[in-house]
Structure 1
């Protein structure tokens, strides 16, 4: 006879597709889920009915169902046709990405029927997003057009405008969700290069699906561009290049190139090898950029500041040594100092790619002001 408790636990853990450290199980879908993902299952009982693996009582039939189903079987059923470019969120990603991944799989069957992928897979997308104004900081409705054929993302200041306000080339586009920074749960930051300098636009849409569809449409356009640019590359080589999160962001103090000016508080963004600083986190363009090379090219990060340094109010200094000069920064807390040093060290430890050498001189001295 089946016994609740220990017998249920043993049978559940015997499932061949039992993931690491799950706390919940969906009796509807036959999958085990972590604490973070269980939020979406609990909020949608019409899609998924969940039980605690450890705390809830289990019937013999429920345990047998979970043992016969499991995550591998659900993956085979609900993830048959996921496009290579589609972003698969992890438990550390923002809520809108994780929620829309849940709905795409279990509610909309997007990875079962290819025709349901049209909103982001056709190479063309047109619609309206709320975009933050560069000068007034207000979010205004703007028309956006993404065209894989033209190789660009455009936006128009007026709905009936013939000429775009900005043309962003697909080859330099990056998109990353920054909800806290933008102030919207669906906030997306899009960066691109113009005259070899980074430009930012900040957009959102009230509908989470709409924003995630735009994000994956950008990834799809980038994927097809890279397939042409690198015809011998595999999908595994190209997918990490589609979009990227920033290495680190946050406030630090900095001084000028002569190191005699007073330190000023600035918002810093480490994007790949570009360390950019802004007066405000939502500035459209950086006041300066510093290229961070590799240790093989004599780049070093040090804890602390030179003994003669004056003017910094924050006590935890960082010195970045480059072949041309030293850059001095200060953090408010020791924890922030350690985080920044670790981030810099990861970049410096990474060997430079051949194409990165070409931009070294251009980026290193692009320091335009405090």
Structure 2
């Protein structure tokens, strides 16, 4: 059997048709060191690990020695039995369309840190992550000047606090994680290892120093939020994790961590489990829309974020403070949404949305009719179907 025939046979063995790390149906690359088949996106991360951990080769473009081809007998299933023996469900796992941050941090945790193996050291490291507590240095973007400044950050008891430096008793800020909206990628941001937190009409931007530092903070925040909702840190079959853990929704380039509204939090513990799970299935959309002022004259671009019943808009995507926040109520309280080109003279046909509230009407315009329809449907869902407390 030739080398190419050997590779072909191993590639078509069970488990080897999908990437060993992210699961996409693309195994045009391989790690000869690990004996696994991977996709082109994951291959770039593997290459950065160094050949002592993962030597990457293309199945089509590279020349293969016979001994390298024989190493592929390991295969994805056997490899993952070792390297993914104990992956907590709270961990963000990469998928085909995930941000590079997620892919990078997961692969490094898996192969460089051996974090998901059954070793005792790995079990201790996982227990620390799942405790929902972490302390260390992060860069935080300034509210007014946009500069990244070092901050000593402490995550404990469901609250993220930051100080000017370690040992500084005075808090510069405090964020109750369960009442905040967190995403692991700032949309359109080219900074590596950035995550943002929207809380109390303000956007906070934090930046980790490395892929593993990023992984620890993201996982710890997820664990802290899950614990605040009743997870004990151990049960992998806890019903809350069915909605908390999967990466099932990407909104305009953002990945959800775990988001919950403060109003839902107050009612969570008195609800039946099925009802609580429904509340965790949050509705979210974000992007640039044009908005008219109160006099309905002229329209300015604003960055909108819709999360459950909260519609916030910012002057720019990177702004720390929202220019306005609309808490959407039910139709019985005077809330309504529809497309209406008559609300402003400069409206583009089919692209303008009228949002009626008890206080005033808002004119919001999308670039295309399709986008306007999507926003109208999302806002309508919030108004007509989400629980009100």
Question: For the superposition of Structure 1 and Structure 2, which TM-score range results when normalised by the shorter chain?
Answer: 0.7 to 0.9
Q: Secondary structure at the match of 1:72?
A: helix
If the length of structure 1 is used for normalisation, what is the TM-score?
Answer: 0.78
Q: 1:260 aligns with which of 267, 285, 296?
A: 296
Equivalent position of 2:326 in the other structure: 290
Equivalent position of 2:365 in the other structure: 330
Q: Which runs of 5+ in 2 are unaligned?
A: 19-24, 247-255, 260-281
Q: Secondary structure at the match of 1:216?
A: helix
Change in Cα spacing, 1:291 to 1:13, as seen in structure 2 (3 Å) is farther
Change in Cα spacing, 1:211 to 1:16, as seen in structure 2 (3 Å) is closer
Q: Secondary structure at the match of 1:357?
A: coil
Shift of 1:39: 0.7
Q: Measure, in 1, the Cα distance between the counterparts of 2:214 and 2:15.
A: 36
Q: Measure, in 2, the Cα distance between the counterparts of 1:27 and 1:340.
A: 49
Q: Measure, in 2, the Cα distance between the counterparts of 1:352 and 1:87.
A: 32
Change in Cα spacing, 1:316 to 1:158, as seen in structure 2 (3 Å) is farther
Q: How does 1:172-251 map to 2 (within 5 A)?
A: 172-179=179-186, 181-192=188-199, 194=200, 198-227=201-230, 233-239=239-245, 243=258, 247-251=284-288
Q: Measure, in 1, the Cα distance between the counterparts of 2:128 and 2:189.
A: 24
**8 Å contact from structure 2 (residues 197, 205) kept in 1:** yes
Structure 1, 269-278 or 322-331: larger mean CA deviation = 322-331
Shift of 1:178: 2.8
If the length of structure 2 is used for normalisation, what is the TM-score?
Answer: 0.74
Shift of 1:277: 0.7
Query: What number of residue pairs does the alignment pair up?
Result: 341
Please report the RMSD computed on the Cα atoms of aligned residues, expressed in angstroms.
Answer: 3.5
Change in Cα spacing, 1:348 to 1:3, as seen in structure 2 (3 Å) is farther
Shift of 1:222: 0.8
Pairing 1:345–2:385 present = no
Q: Secondary structure at the match of 1:286?
A: coil
Q: Secondary structure at the match of 1:307?
A: helix
**8 Å contact from structure 1 (residues 85, 242) kept in 2:** no
Equivalent position of 2:262 in the other structure: none
**8 Å contact from structure 1 (residues 144, 153) kept in 2:** yes
Pairing 1:154–2:161 present = yes
**8 Å contact from structure 1 (residues 8, 60) kept in 2:** no
Structure 1, 128-137 or 57-66: larger mean CA deviation = 57-66
Shift of 1:125: 1.5
Change in Cα spacing, 1:157 to 1:16, as seen in structure 2 (3 Å) is closer
Pairing 1:47–2:53 present = yes
